């Protein structure tokens, strides 16, 4: 059983990545339009654990994002925990969604969970091209960490 990581690392609230994706889909489905979904996503970002200012460095910055995004990882055996933040409200929410899927998962589960869920949930289509590319860059960075 993985240990629970202290903040700023996000502990999983769902048993598996697939469960997290299904729960996110249900939550987004409660809203009739994208304006309400965006507000929901922004609220998720506000609930992220505080990300240390000292980690807002080039070392942790995710390249390919329109906004500033930082991502840190910590391993507990084969399980990886992630912490993240952004300087933009909507992007912080997208960070929260991505971390909900990937943080607290084993390396094999992370590698087996593609970014396809972002398209399946309609997120990529509802975002600007730059934001969509940025979310994909976050997932690529998480996969690279898991593969290392």
pLDDT one-digit tens code per residue, 25-69: 999 999 998 889 999 999 999 999 999 999 999 999 998 777 889
pLDDT, residue 121, reads: 87
Say what the pTM is: 0.91
Q: Is residue 5 part of a domain?
A: no
Q: List, by residue number, the catalytic residues.
A: 65
pLDDT, residue 128, reads: 64
Q: Whole domain around residue 34: which residue ranges?
A: 17-147
Q: Is residue 8 part of a domain?
A: no
Q: Is residue 25 part of a domain?
A: yes
Per-residue pLDDT band for 1 (boundaries 50, 70, 90) equals very low
Q: Is residue 140 part of a domain?
A: yes
Q: Is residue 2 part of a domain?
A: no
Q: Dihedral sign for Cα 129, 136, 29, 45, please.
A: negative
**Average pLDDT of the residues in 71-100:** 94
Q: How many domains does the chain fold into?
A: 1
Copy the structure tokens of residue 60: 């942790």
CATH code of residue 127 = 3.90.1010.10
């Amino acid at each position: 059983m993985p240990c629970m990581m202290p903040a700023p690392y996000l502990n999983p609230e769902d048993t598996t990545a697939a469960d997290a994706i299904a729960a996110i889909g249900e939550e987004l489905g409660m809203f009739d339009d994208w304006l309400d979904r965006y507000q929901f996503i922004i609220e998720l970002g506000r609930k992220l654990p505080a990300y240390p200012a000292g980690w807002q460095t080039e070392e942790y910055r995710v390249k390919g994002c329109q906004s500033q995004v930082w991502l840190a990882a910590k391993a507990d055996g084969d399980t990886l925990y992630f912490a993240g933040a952004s300087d933009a409200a909507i992007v912080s929410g997208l960070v929260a969604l991505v971390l909900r899927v990937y943080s607290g998962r084993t390396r094999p589960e992370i590698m087996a969970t593609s970014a396809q869920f972002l398209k399946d949930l309609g997120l990529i289509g509802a975002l600007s091209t730059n934001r969509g590319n940025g979310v994909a860059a976050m997932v690529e960075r998480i996969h690279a960490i898991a593969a290392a």
